[in-house]
Amino acid sequence: MTSSAAVVQDQFLKVLSREEAVARFRAALRLLPLGAETVGLDHLAGRTLAATVAAPVDAPPFDRSVVDGFAVRAVDVAEASETGPAWLALNDETIACGTEPRLAVSSGHATPIATGGPIPRGADAVVMIEHTRFEPDRGLAVTRPVGPGQNIAFAGSDIARGETLLRRGTLIGAREIGMLAAVGADSASVWRKPRVAVISTGDELVPPGAPLRPAAIYDSNGPIVAAALEENGCVAVRFGAVPDDAALLEAAIREAHSTCDAVILSGGTSKGAGDLTYRMVGMLGQPGIVAHGVALKPGKPLCLAVCDGKPVVILPGFPTSAMFTFHDIVAPVLRILAGLPERPEVTVETRVPVRIPSDLGRTEFVMVALSRDAEGTVAFPVGKGSGAVTAFSQADGFLTIDALAEALPAGSAASVTLFAPHVALPALSIAGSHCVGLDAVISLLADKGITARSLALGSLGGLAALKRGECDIAPIHLLDPASGLYNTPFLGPSMRLVPGWRRMQGLVHRHGDSRFAGAASPAEAVAAALADADCLMVNRNQGAGTRVLIDGLLAGRQPPGYWNQPRSHNAVVAAIAQGRADWGVAIAPAAVAVGLAFIPLAEEHYDFAVPREPSSPAVALFEAAVGEAGEALRELGFTPASGG
């Protein structure tokens, strides 16, 4: 009791290897399915059989015809032919499906029978109706012979009573449900789904759907973990987001632990002042925390515990970290408790065109987007750090960098584990600078059934990928300060430019900021800003086209805020709208979207570099779509360049 916090912090300092952490976690658990339950036929899809099912009856239960025709004695028609038919007398009954025969078939006789009808006593074959004709005065003419047993399915030929129908461990789908129904089973014994509590922690969390208050973020881990649990045969029991409050957290964790089979928390694993979660978990039951700090990237703050036989896990707060650690370490254990087989992994061999730096001593997962060049499949890293959720939408899978490697050199071969069961490469691979206008063009293409994916590599990254043949189109907006020209000076010899659109850039400030009241031009606005030592600017990163414009306005001066250099227009307008800065330079659509004042400065050219030859059909369609998107682009606040 006295030093539990100190003990826990000790453990956090001792970062374990991935393998060691997994071994300790598994050793503390009883790795068996939790138990069986009987579930009705209509709710069996997706469940796993806990016991082998033997057929309780024969299927089919009686000998039955598999064609429409006549039940006969084979010997009566053995010599039948088109020219010399066998003549038979018809019995006075017709055997439909579900009709029990009354009359035996004796020598020289036949009984009409439908597909599925029970074979009458005495008959040993069925002649297809196509091989007969009926003459009212002579009877039935059979024009082809049949062998004994022909066109009959015998009782138990599908499955005989007592034979194994389905084995324990089988994942039940429509086919298995059909088999159970065919032998009359209306339920089956399946493994019980573990009930797993999902608790997000953090004062900053707001549930999706509610308004976002200042400094708050949406709870993504709760929905992510709940969905991942369902995908892995568990029932998610949602506890919502709990603030970093000792009493509230303790109450939630204790209730979750006592009412569920496992508890998955997220957030609060680091040593920040508000991070209480791991202390609570440490006090919950024996043996308690078995690993706190695992040499994984992302995912180092992962905390694994077993409390009175139940797994209790604290995933890292960052959603991508939470997702990777869940799938790598937690899901395999929960699948065992759910009685599910290991998740099948699909991998694809690729080449990595760019160097990926990595931390020595940590197993590193890197999300990648796949593309194709002349030699095969290439994998681009797309993670923007452990905080990026959007990487998931761009990534096709991930690769793993060994703990002992310092980097994956450019050109390395790498095996990529796919998120989906197969690779679906987009028809058009776009890499470079991103713009909301591009989304409008991509939507137009999507409506025509052409898939395109845009990777945000920046203008220069896009040009490099295009030069190596790893993408089809590179969107760029680069200003050459020497010539004052956009984009054309940056094209390689084998590239041409598809004109895109213009984005008006301007000086941005909050409406009603009296310091800018009289300023009609950007130069006057900058002069006004420089006159007030409290007026904070927000700059742009070196290399951005916008930065060239800012440098021109400032002419060597470095006012307060100069070193705040975010990488996007959205970050600039967010800083000004939220009062963290007072002025900056951004494009009009971004400024207008958050209700800021805008003084026009210069037009930025956003165009597309494409290979000069050969022009692929997909690129031609893209060019056409840029033209067609004119209206949509204007609505977004852009000016189409239209051929110029």
Binding site for Mg ion (CB under 5 A): 202, 267-268
Shortest gap between Cβ of 574 and ligand AMP (angstroms)?
Answer: 16
Which one of Mg ion, ligand AMP, none is in contact with 288 (Cβ closer than 5 to 8 A by kind)?
none
Which one of Mg ion, ligand AMP, none is in contact with 221 (Cβ closer than 5 to 8 A by kind)?
ligand AMP
Burial tier of 556 (Cβ tally within 10 Å: 0-12, 13-18, 19+): exposed
Show contacts with ligand AMP in window 249-288 (CB under 6 A): 266-270, 272, 275
Residue 292 contacts ligand AMP per CB under 6 A: no
How are strands ordered across the β-sheet holding 132-135? 125-128, 69-72, 109-113, 86-90, 139-142, 132-135
Q: Pairing relation of β-strands 303-307 and 310-315?
A: antiparallel
- The residue type found at 528 is A
- The residue type found at 557 is R
Q: Which is nearer to ligand AMP, 314 or 573 (CB)?
A: 314
- CA nearest neighbour of 19 among 366, 320, 294: 294
Q: Are 320 and 383 in contact (CB under 8 A)?
A: yes
Shortest gap between Cβ of 223 and Mg ion (angstroms)?
Answer: 17
Residue 221 contacts ligand AMP per CB under 6 A: yes
Q: Which is nearer to Mg ion, 267 or 293 (CB)?
A: 267
Shortest gap between Cβ of 215 and Mg ion (angstroms)?
Answer: 13
Helix residue spans in 183-291 (DSSP H): 221-231, 246-259, 277-282
Q: Are 316 and 327 in contact (CB under 8 A)?
A: no
Residue 439 contacts ligand AMP per CB under 6 A: no
Q: Which is nearer to ligand AMP, 217 or 413 (CB)?
A: 217
Shortest gap between Cβ of 391 and ligand AMP (angstroms)?
Answer: 14
How many Cα atoms are found within 13 Å in the side-chain-facing hemisphere of 183? 26
Shortest gap between Cβ of 496 and ligand AMP (angstroms)?
Answer: 43
Which one of Mg ion, ligand AMP, none is in contact with 539 (Cβ closer than 5 to 8 A by kind)?
none
Which of helix, strand or coil describes residue 478? Answer: coil
Which one of Mg ion, ligand AMP, none is in contact with 582 (Cβ closer than 5 to 8 A by kind)?
none
Look-up of token digits 């059934």: 449
Which one of Mg ion, ligand AMP, none is in contact with 516 (Cβ closer than 5 to 8 A by kind)?
none
Shortest gap between Cβ of 245 and ligand AMP (angstroms)?
Answer: 13
Which of helix, strand or coil describes residue 554? Answer: helix
Which one of Mg ion, ligand AMP, none is in contact with 219 (Cβ closer than 5 to 8 A by kind)?
ligand AMP
Show contacts with ligand AMP in window 150-209 (CB under 6 A): 200, 202, 204-205
Helix residue spans in 149-196 (DSSP H): 174-182
Q: Which is nearer to Mg ion, 221 or 232 (CB)?
A: 221
Show contacts with ligand AMP in window 103-132 (CB under 6 A): none
Q: Which is nearer to Mg ion, 225 or 340 (CB)?
A: 225
Shortest gap between Cβ of 283 and Mg ion (angstroms)?
Answer: 19
Shortest gap between Cβ of 202 and Mg ion (angstroms)?
Answer: 4
- The residue type found at 581 is A
Q: Are 433 and 462 in contact (CB under 8 A)?
A: yes
Q: Are 53 and 180 in contact (CB under 8 A)?
A: yes
Measured distance CA(80)–CA(76) in Å, rounded = 8
Binding residues for ligand AMP, rule CB under 6 A, total 21
Query: What b/e string do you get for 170-184 counting C-beta neighbours within 10 Å, with b at 16 or more?
Result: bebeeebbebbeebe
Return residues touching ligand AMP (CB under 6 A): 200, 202, 204-205, 217, 219-222, 266-270, 272, 275, 301, 316-319
